[in-house]
A and B are shown apart, each in its own frame.
Chain A
Amino acid sequence: MKVSGIYAIAFGLSLLVLFVFSWLLNDSIATMRDKSDWEEHSQFVIAQLYELNVAMADIESSHRGFLLTGDSTLLQLLYSSRTRVPMLLDTLSSLTRDNVRQQRNLSVLRDATVRRLHKSQEVINRAPYLTPEQLRKELNEGNRLMDDFRSRIKTVVELEKSLLKERTNSRRIYESLTPTYFMTIFTVASIIAIASFIQLLRESTERRKAREMLELRLQTLAQLNSELKQIAYVTSHDLQEPLRKIQTFSDLLNIKYGVSIPIEARDVLTRVIRNANFIRELISDLSDFANLVNPIEVKQKHVDLNKVLIDVQKNLNGEIEKKQAKFFISTLPLIDGFERQLFVLFREVITNSLKFSRAAVPPEITVTGNLMIGDELGHIRTGNRRFTVISIYDNGIGFDNVLASKIFILFQKLHGSDSPYPGKGIGLAICQRILSNHDGYITARGESGKGTRIQMFFPIVT
């Protein structure tokens, strides 16, 4: 959870940096293009100004040539250049709209230009009538106006040049800074990416290790399980074989030579047989229990517990009649389960009730079934699952509740072997196993000398 969080944050950060990076790059390209555009713009303005200057110089030389020689063909250049001047001025004026100072300069330049052209046309018109004195005066006047124009245009050009210089510098600075800027971002992004990659790698390694560990455990578990199966098989078969033979040979000895061996020896033989029988039963029970751990029944079906109880009563008929036991059974529900196991379960519980009855008190066994929500189960955490609860009460000898948890342990007995309650202590362990196979629970409560209540909780699968 924690590791994943770090990884997620790192991943988010690198993603964010990537976005920022691409946005900045885009922005930077735009700025660069913009700066470059402005530079070109200034260069273009300067070029236009030079062209204007050239046009005016042409006009001036053509004008002066005509005035000095009277050769009107010289005026051709003047006329052709003069048509370009307003166009150039208009272009310049529209180009410098962004700069108020330059506009003002340009307006002054326009006035100077117009004045020069105006004066030039006027002098040309009057040229045939001019005296040499007047002509010289006009030439001087023309020079003065031209100087005025030159100084005006120089102002404009200089301003534009300084603008160009400024723009070039700005672009250069930007150009020189941009790589550093991007390099920094790129480095940061790389570090984050590498860090998150390492994190990812570490996490995946950890996961792989955990998975391998789990697989190993699973393997061990499978092996243990298979060994348990083998033990179950050995107990149910191989161990029983020699025992069966001990029994049969002892029997054979007894039948064939019983009369000829001393009474004392026959008593020893009887004890051997009795113990062999007992071990045989123990092993048989153990084998039953082991078979419950790996049951043959694998598919649950609807089981009518009423029918199961009737079968159990039939099965235990001898003992029931002997003890004159009475049953009080309410209508029990259908549950999903393993029929054979449920038969064994009820047989074990009822057998206990019959066995642990009070002396001279006929057993009374009550069986009820009802529904319960998981929360009501007290110490067992079951959430909101619903259960079918089967309760079996008897009026037997009961037991001390301190021992309640012990009675479900395999081969744990509450009564010594000398007590009037013989048993091997496997019944309730089998019951618990069967409930486990049904994903259920079994509890026992007793009251010494009064009775026992066994409750079985079967989950209702919805």
Chain B
Amino acid sequence: MGKKYVIIADDDEDDRMLVQSAFHENRTDVQIDFAVDGYDLMERLTREPAASSTHFILLDLNMPKKDGREALKEIKQNPGLKKIPVIVFTTAKNESEIRKCYDLGANTYIVKPDGFEELRKIVMNLTSYWLDTAVIPS
């Protein structure tokens, strides 16, 4: 089986580095691509391999130019892209934000943790569920 393809959309370099570390700690069969804002993400999704083989998107909400909410909305309204699981991964934890994201079609909502150990566990759970367990149309 080939490499799994995951996009991480986050404008924060630190967070990208931490998530990447957490992925590396867990498994080596994942290819990670980074998007630094909503435009970057949407543009990436129109090209290969992202267009056809993205296993999931880890999406930060607060990004410059086009934020995570707008990108989420566009993805879930696009017939070709809406099957891609979108995991909102953000610091905001207020009720209305969470509700809004699910309304827009988010598949999961996760609040960024305080420690690296928790982050590692989150990435482990995410990959084991979305890469190994869940079935999505190809």
Contact = CB atoms under 8 A, between A and B. Distances in A.
Given A237-B91, A240-B91, A249 B115 contact: no
Contacts of A248: 18, 113-116, 119
B21 interface: yes
B114 A280 contact: yes
A329 B121 CA distance: 43
Given A240-B91, A241-B91, A251 B14 contact: no
Contacts of B14: 245, 249
Contact of B116 (A240, A255, A280, A296): A255
A252 B116 contact: yes
B15 A251 contact: no
B117 interface: yes
B18 A249 contact: yes
Interface string A213-257: 000000000000000000000000100110011011101101100
11 contacts: A237-B91, A240-B91, A244-B112, A247-B115, A248-B18, A248-B113, A248-B119, A251-B116, A252-B18, A277-B114, A296-B96
Contact of A245 (B15, B96, B120): B15
B72 to A, nearest CB: 19
A240 B90 CA distance: 12
Contacts of B96: 296
B92 interface: yes
Q: Is the interface of B mostly helix, strand, loop or mixed?
A: helix
A150 B112 CA distance: 137
Interface in B91-133: 91-92, 96, 112-117, 119-120
Interface of B: 12, 14-15, 18, 21, 91-92, 96, 112-117, 119-120
Contacts of A247: 114-115
The 3 closest A-B pairs by CB, nearest first: A251-B116, A252-B116, A251-B115
B116 to A, nearest CB: 4
A255 B117 contact: yes
A244 B114 CA distance: 5
A240 B112 CA distance: 11
Interface residues of A, number: 15
Contacts of A240: 91
Contacts of A252: 18, 21, 116
Contacts of B91: 237, 240-241, 244
Nearest to B115: A251
Interface in A235-290: 237, 240-241, 244-245, 247-249, 251-252, 254-255, 277, 280
Interface string A166-196: 0000000000000000000000000000000
B59 to A, nearest CB: 17
B132 to A, nearest CB: 24
A244 B15 CA distance: 10
A244 B119 CA distance: 12
Contact of A237 (B92, B115, B117): B92
A249 B18 CA distance: 8
Contacts of A244: 91, 112, 114
A35 B113 CA distance: 109
Contacts of A245: 14-15, 18
Nearest to A254: B116
Given A240-B91, A241-B91, A245-B14, A251 B112 contact: no
Contacts of A296: 96
A277 B12 CA distance: 21
Contacts of A251: 114-117
A237 B115 CA distance: 17
Contacts of B15: 245
A242 to B, nearest CB: 9
Nearest to B62: A237
A359 B114 CA distance: 33
Contacts of B92: 237
Given A237-B92, A245-B18, A254-B116, 8 more contacts: A241-B12, A245-B15, A247-B114, A248-B114, A248-B115, A251-B114, A252-B18, A255-B120
A254 B12 CA distance: 22
A237 B112 CA distance: 12
Interface string A291-308: 000001000000000000
Contacts of A277: 114
Nearest to A253: B116
B13 to A, nearest CB: 10
A280 B115 CA distance: 12
B16 to A, nearest CB: 12
Contacts of A254: 116
Interface in A57-80: none
A30 B23 CA distance: 112
Nearest to B18: A248
A244 B115 CA distance: 8
A237 to B, nearest CB: 7
A272 B12 CA distance: 22
A177 B75 CA distance: 99
Contacts of A255: 116-117, 120
A247 to B, nearest CB: 5
A248 B111 CA distance: 14
